[in-house]
Amino acid sequence: MKRTTNRAEFLADVLTTAVEHDGYGFFSVREWKHDGEPGERYAVIYDPDEKQIHRIDGDTIAAGIGVIRRAQVREDARYKELALHNTKTGQRLYMPNEQRGAILRANHANDAGGLDVIDALAIVECALFGAVTYA
Protein backbone atom coordinates (compact mmCIF):
# COMPACT_ATOMS: atom_id res chain seq x y z
CA MET A 1 0.00 0.00 0.00
CA LYS A 2 1.42 3.35 -1.04
CA ARG A 3 1.56 5.93 1.72
CA THR A 4 0.92 9.61 1.29
CA THR A 5 3.88 11.93 1.66
CA ASN A 6 2.49 13.23 4.96
CA ARG A 7 2.13 9.71 6.31
CA ALA A 8 5.62 8.64 5.24
CA GLU A 9 7.09 11.78 6.83
CA PHE A 10 5.21 11.16 10.08
CA LEU A 11 6.46 7.56 10.31
CA ALA A 12 10.02 8.71 9.48
CA ASP A 13 9.81 11.41 12.17
CA VAL A 14 8.79 8.85 14.80
CA LEU A 15 11.58 6.54 13.63
CA THR A 16 14.11 9.38 13.92
CA THR A 17 12.91 10.22 17.43
CA ALA A 18 13.32 6.59 18.50
CA VAL A 19 16.73 6.07 16.90
CA GLU A 20 18.32 9.36 17.93
CA HIS A 21 17.41 8.69 21.56
CA ASP A 22 20.57 9.82 23.35
CA GLY A 23 20.84 6.68 25.46
CA TYR A 24 17.20 6.25 26.51
CA GLY A 25 16.60 3.13 24.49
CA PHE A 26 17.10 -0.55 25.02
CA PHE A 27 19.21 -0.89 21.88
CA SER A 28 22.33 0.31 20.17
CA VAL A 29 22.28 1.50 16.59
CA ARG A 30 24.36 -0.53 14.14
CA GLU A 31 23.27 1.29 10.96
CA TRP A 32 21.15 4.41 10.44
CA LYS A 33 19.94 5.55 7.01
CA HIS A 34 18.41 8.90 7.82
CA ASP A 35 18.72 10.66 4.48
CA GLY A 36 16.74 10.20 1.30
CA GLU A 37 12.99 9.91 0.98
CA PRO A 38 11.04 9.35 4.23
CA GLY A 39 9.90 5.89 3.12
CA GLU A 40 13.52 4.80 2.53
CA ARG A 41 14.78 5.52 6.06
CA TYR A 42 15.66 2.63 8.33
CA ALA A 43 17.88 1.62 11.21
CA VAL A 44 19.52 -1.63 12.15
CA ILE A 45 19.52 -1.95 15.92
CA TYR A 46 21.02 -4.43 18.36
CA ASP A 47 19.19 -5.53 21.50
CA PRO A 48 21.89 -6.68 23.95
CA ASP A 49 19.42 -8.32 26.36
CA GLU A 50 17.88 -10.53 23.68
CA LYS A 51 21.10 -10.66 21.63
CA GLN A 52 19.06 -9.90 18.52
CA ILE A 53 19.42 -7.56 15.58
CA HIS A 54 16.31 -5.84 14.22
CA ARG A 55 15.78 -3.71 11.13
CA ILE A 56 13.25 -0.99 11.88
CA ASP A 57 11.60 1.35 9.40
CA GLY A 58 8.29 3.05 8.64
CA ASP A 59 6.53 -0.30 8.46
CA THR A 60 7.81 -1.11 11.96
CA ILE A 61 6.47 2.19 13.28
CA ALA A 62 3.11 1.60 11.57
CA ALA A 63 2.93 -1.90 13.07
CA GLY A 64 3.66 -0.58 16.57
CA ILE A 65 0.99 2.08 16.24
CA GLY A 66 -1.41 -0.64 15.09
CA VAL A 67 -0.77 -2.66 18.26
CA ILE A 68 -1.43 0.46 20.34
CA ARG A 69 -4.53 1.44 18.34
CA ARG A 70 -6.10 -2.02 18.65
CA ALA A 71 -5.28 -2.44 22.36
CA GLN A 72 -8.19 -3.26 24.65
CA VAL A 73 -8.76 -2.40 28.28
CA ARG A 74 -9.09 -5.58 30.34
CA GLU A 75 -8.49 -6.62 33.89
CA ASP A 76 -4.91 -7.63 34.57
CA ALA A 77 -5.29 -10.97 36.34
CA ARG A 78 -2.03 -10.62 38.23
CA TYR A 79 -2.55 -7.10 39.59
CA LYS A 80 -6.37 -7.05 39.62
CA GLU A 81 -6.56 -3.71 37.81
CA LEU A 82 -7.75 -2.48 34.44
CA ALA A 83 -4.98 -2.06 31.88
CA LEU A 84 -4.36 -1.96 28.12
CA HIS A 85 -3.69 -5.35 26.52
CA ASN A 86 -2.49 -6.45 23.09
CA THR A 87 -5.56 -7.83 21.31
CA LYS A 88 -3.56 -10.47 19.41
CA THR A 89 -1.28 -11.83 22.14
CA GLY A 90 -3.11 -10.86 25.33
CA GLN A 91 0.06 -9.24 26.70
CA ARG A 92 -0.32 -6.24 28.95
CA LEU A 93 1.02 -3.19 27.09
CA TYR A 94 2.35 -1.41 30.20
CA MET A 95 1.30 1.89 28.69
CA PRO A 96 -0.74 4.56 30.45
CA ASN A 97 -3.94 5.73 28.75
CA GLU A 98 -2.51 9.26 28.52
CA GLN A 99 0.47 8.04 26.49
CA ARG A 100 -1.76 5.95 24.25
CA GLY A 101 -3.99 8.98 23.68
CA ALA A 102 -1.02 11.18 22.71
CA ILE A 103 0.24 8.55 20.27
CA LEU A 104 -3.18 8.05 18.68
CA ARG A 105 -3.75 11.81 18.34
CA ALA A 106 -0.35 12.19 16.66
CA ASN A 107 -1.13 9.22 14.41
CA HIS A 108 -4.48 10.69 13.39
CA ALA A 109 -2.93 14.07 12.57
CA ASN A 110 0.24 12.61 10.99
CA ASP A 111 2.18 14.98 13.26
CA ALA A 112 4.94 13.60 15.48
CA GLY A 113 5.75 17.01 16.98
CA GLY A 114 4.03 16.19 20.28
CA LEU A 115 5.71 12.81 20.73
CA ASP A 116 8.87 12.41 22.78
CA VAL A 117 11.51 9.70 22.84
CA ILE A 118 9.58 7.64 25.41
CA ASP A 119 6.54 7.59 23.09
CA ALA A 120 8.65 6.70 20.05
CA LEU A 121 10.43 3.89 21.89
CA ALA A 122 7.09 2.54 23.15
CA ILE A 123 5.91 2.37 19.53
CA VAL A 124 9.04 0.46 18.50
CA GLU A 125 8.74 -1.92 21.45
CA CYS A 126 5.08 -2.63 20.68
CA ALA A 127 6.06 -3.48 17.11
CA LEU A 128 8.97 -5.73 18.06
CA PHE A 129 7.71 -7.31 21.28
CA GLY A 130 3.95 -6.74 21.32
CA ALA A 131 4.16 -4.54 24.42
CA VAL A 132 6.32 -1.96 26.16
CA THR A 133 9.09 -4.10 27.56
CA TYR A 134 11.93 -1.81 28.61
CA ALA A 135 10.40 1.57 29.46
Burial (Cβ within 10 Å: 0-12, 13-18, ≥19) of residue 57: middle
The answer to the question of residue 22 being in a domain is yes
The answer to the question of residue 39 being in a domain is yes
The answer to the question of residue 91 being in a domain is no
Range of the domain at 38: 5-68+98-129
Each residue of 93-114: pLDDT tens digit?
999 999 999 999 999 999 999 9
Amino acid found at 72: Q
Each residue of 29-79: pLDDT tens digit?
999 999 999 999 999 999 998 899 999 999 999 999 999 999 999 998 888
Domains held by the chain: number = 1
Each residue of 67-92: pLDDT tens digit?
999 999 999 888 899 999 999 999 99
The answer to the question of residue 75 being in a domain is no
47 backbone dihedrals φ, ψ, rounded to 5°: -100, 105
* Core vs surface per residue 28-50: b (16+ CB within 10 A) or e: eeeeeeeeeebbebbbbbebeee
